[in-house]
Structure 1
């Protein structure tokens, strides 16, 4: 097997990540035991859309299997087939993590990727087929992950789309995820929660551009999506 190291590009690559043959070597900057344990758990469950954890090399880098394909650099337009494939992948991930010990111990529903956006998706034949980068992995609610999914995959807040079109796309997402409790309204409300959370985090961390973008996206979501959906049973808070 080749030992030549090739820096990986595309997506939002962590500094120092390289490809060596059919493996990826990734610097370990903090304890990632729960990530490694989850990857092993997913392998046992037959979930093949994530890298396999293969150990740690002599430079103390984690060794992961390489998933071939294309990783987008940022957000963009994704058609219905791509959105459906991406959210079905998330549903499979959630289902496969529902019995992970940390989920049970924390009283959660599933493990949340928490950053399942296009820059962490591997595409083949124009469809997302792989999930990478589990730095933000944590136990949580399905809808918390679905809210972030809707925010970044649909690019909620982008004026290139009308509110009606984004509601239609949210329906594509809800139907493809296929769980009755994960309705369009609930996904949209959690998308707003993720937008406002990111805006707050940006302000606290001194990332003004990120905070401004997320806050503007939240305003757009309220005015163009939630105000149209609220008559169906979800009233927006007042005061």
Structure 2
């Protein structure tokens, strides 16, 4: 094994993360027991597309298996196949975690809560891996879908028209395999996540984030949710 550490770049990499051979070494700054348990469970389920938890090294860093591929630097322009693949990978992740939550507590799955391009590992132009589990928590599928649609579609970007984003939203929803839930519901949750991010930015003094997220929420309301809500259109089941 090559014993030279290589600082990781791309996406929104946590400070101090490095590659050592076929492993990733990540500083532990908060309690990671829940994350380690989740990754170990997914390994037992033979779920591909997430790193394996391999233990703690002598510098108190978690050891994760390295996922080969590339990570986008931030939001970008993704085609229909990439959007569909991203949604399908989230669906697989959600389905694999159903047994970890209790329905009586009002939760359905383990939510990633930050499934966007910057936390995706691409192979041959398609998102194949999920990284960065800092924000995982029990929750609802729609809550995760709302944030994911926001970031993967870049809702609020002036590069797209409302019509085009509505079309892309249906592509994303179909890729997830929606049966009873409408694209309008995903859009509504996107607005909720955008608004929450704007409020969080203000509370923590991150004015740039607050301004960006607030502007995205306003755009999404005017150009997507207001136009989808009256239709009541439900996606057909896709399996």
TM > 0.5: yes
CA RMSD of aligned residues (A): 1.3
Q: Deviations over 1:34-88 (max 9, x none)?
A: 0000001111111110000000011110000000000001001000000001110
Distance in 1 (alpha carbons) for counterparts of 2:134 and 2:104: 20
In the other structure, the counterpart of 1:108 is 107
Give 5+ residue unaligned stretches, structure 1: 235-239
The within-5 A match list for 1:141-156 is: 141-156=140-155
In the other structure, the counterpart of 1:45 is 45
The within-5 A match list for 1:1-239 is: 1-100=1-100, 102-103=101-102, 106-233=105-232
Deviation at 1:179, TM superposition (A): 2.4
Distance in 1 (alpha carbons) for counterparts of 2:6 and 2:81: 32
Deviation at 1:183, TM superposition (A): 1.8
TM-score, with length taken from structure 2? 0.95
**CA contact 2:182–2:232 (8 Å) conserved in 1:** no
Distance in 2 (alpha carbons) for counterparts of 1:29 and 1:173: 34
Which stretch has the larger CA shift, 153-162 or 181-190?
A: 181-190
Deviation at 1:105, TM superposition (A): 8.1
The runs of at least 4 aligned residues of structure 1 exceeding 3 Å deviation read 102-107
In the other structure, the counterpart of 1:237 is none
Give 5+ residue unaligned stretches, structure 2: 234-239
**CA contact 1:103–1:111 (8 Å) conserved in 2:** no
TM-score, with length taken from structure 1? 0.95
3-state secondary structure, aligned to 1:86: helix
Distance in 2 (alpha carbons) for counterparts of 1:181 and 1:4: 51
**CA contact 1:82–1:128 (8 Å) conserved in 2:** yes
Aligned pair count?
233
